A and B are shown apart, each in its own frame.
Chain A
Amino acid sequence: GESVGLHLPTLSVQEGDNSIINCAYSNSASDYFIWYKQESGKGPQFIIDIRSNMDKRQGQRVTVLLNKTVKHLSLQIAATQPGDSAVYFCAEKTSGTYKYIFGTGTRLKVLA
């Protein structure tokens, strides 16, 4: 079946360094992707999204890259801060459907 998966379950980075969180998706028909951040005890929080007609989108300190050729999505966080420590999920959806498929999540740990 179709699935969205993450390469690394846990990522540890030094405060101030850049973080890269990766996500592989298997449905080539997916045309919308979202990154969520989930802090302990809270619900998933929208970070940034990207449509399949783009390969890069930037927000405040975050950048999402989409490589449709290899079906790969990444989230880059610049100058990682302690407040960035959380679990990050990617999600995919296909236009015309209502279901989002969520990845299993990557835990980001920021080291002081």
Chain B
Amino acid sequence: DARVTQTPRHKVTEMGQEVTMRCQPILGHNTVFWYRQTMMQGLELLAYFRNRAPLDDSGMPKDRFSAEMPDATLATLKIQPSEPRDSAVYFCASSTDTRSSGNTIYFGEGSWLTVV
């Protein structure tokens, strides 16, 4: 059963600490998205990778957020330093090339982050 795997599932951290979230996309998927979900904003796109290259990270606060794909099986989202307003659920999703119509994106179960 192919699925997107995210770790950690839950994280509570103190303001100012570094947080790293990891994602393993579905094998064979070359497109990875990071989304943030809050009650107020819904699902917001943070970053988008295709073939490991970051093509769009305009949704991320550049001063504290960074996203990378060290290899095809691992995507990371890092927050340094974390702030209480970063508390949210962070979803990773993957797909085959979504530029073509009809390519569904599949979500992981999310990393639930609380910054106190």
Tell me the total A-B contact number using a CB cutoff of 8 A: 49
- B48's partner among A36, A42, A44, A98 (CB-CB below 8 A) is A98
CB of B68 within 8 A of chain A? Answer: no
Contact A93 B101 (CB under 8 A): yes
CB of A75 within 8 A of chain B? Answer: no
Q: Which residue, of A51, A99, A104, has the highest number of chain B Cβ atoms within 10 A?
A: A99
* Cα(A97)–Cα(B101), bound, Å: 9
Contact B42 A105 (CB under 8 A): yes
Contact A44 B107 (CB under 8 A): yes
CB of A31 within 8 A of chain B? Answer: yes
**Chain B 1-29 per-residue mask, 1 if CB under 8 angstroms from chain A, else 0:** 00010000000000000000000000000
Bin the interface of chain B by size.
Answer: 20 to 34
On whether A99 and B104 interact (CB within 8 A), knowing A43-B91, A43-B110, the answer reads no
CB of B106 within 8 A of chain A? Answer: yes
Residues of B within 8 A of A (CB): 4, 31, 42-43, 45, 48, 50, 55-56, 91, 98-102, 104-110
